[in-house]
Amino acid sequence: MKEVRRKVCPTCKKPIQSEMVNSKFRPFCSEQCKLIDLGHWLDGTFSIPSQDQLSEEDVESVVRHHQQKELGEDQETDFSGDPNNPDAKKDELS
């Protein structure tokens, strides 16, 4: 099986040419992009390693998850999404 799926550089989002796919920088288009991404990792910009490059949506959800975590433990007592919680029902009716 050939790797003919279109890939883009996770850093600069440029399409990666097929000959680049076999480069040592993959999945990045260049050493520079690889190093930039490495910098992001070190910064903690990304927290979940993936074999595939992350789509923008993936990155967004990771960042959001990260932010929610940083809000702290207090959020655990938020039952507004629980249908069994009378307070939540009251909220919906009003």
> What single string gives the DSSP state of each residue in 3-64?
--S--B-TTT-PBPPHHHHTSTTTTSSSHHHHHHHHHHHHHTS--S--SSPPPHHHHHHHHH
Residue with tokens 């796919």: 21
Q: Per CB under 5 A, which region of 33-41, 45-53, 68-76, 78-86 contacts Zn ion? A: 33-41
Among 7, 8, 27, 33, binds Zn ion (CB under 5 A): 33
Between 12 and 62, name the residue whose CB sits nearer to Zn ion. 12
Site for Zn ion in 35-94 (CB under 5 A): none
> Which residues in this chain contact Zn ion in the complex, by CB under 5 A?
9, 11-12, 29, 33
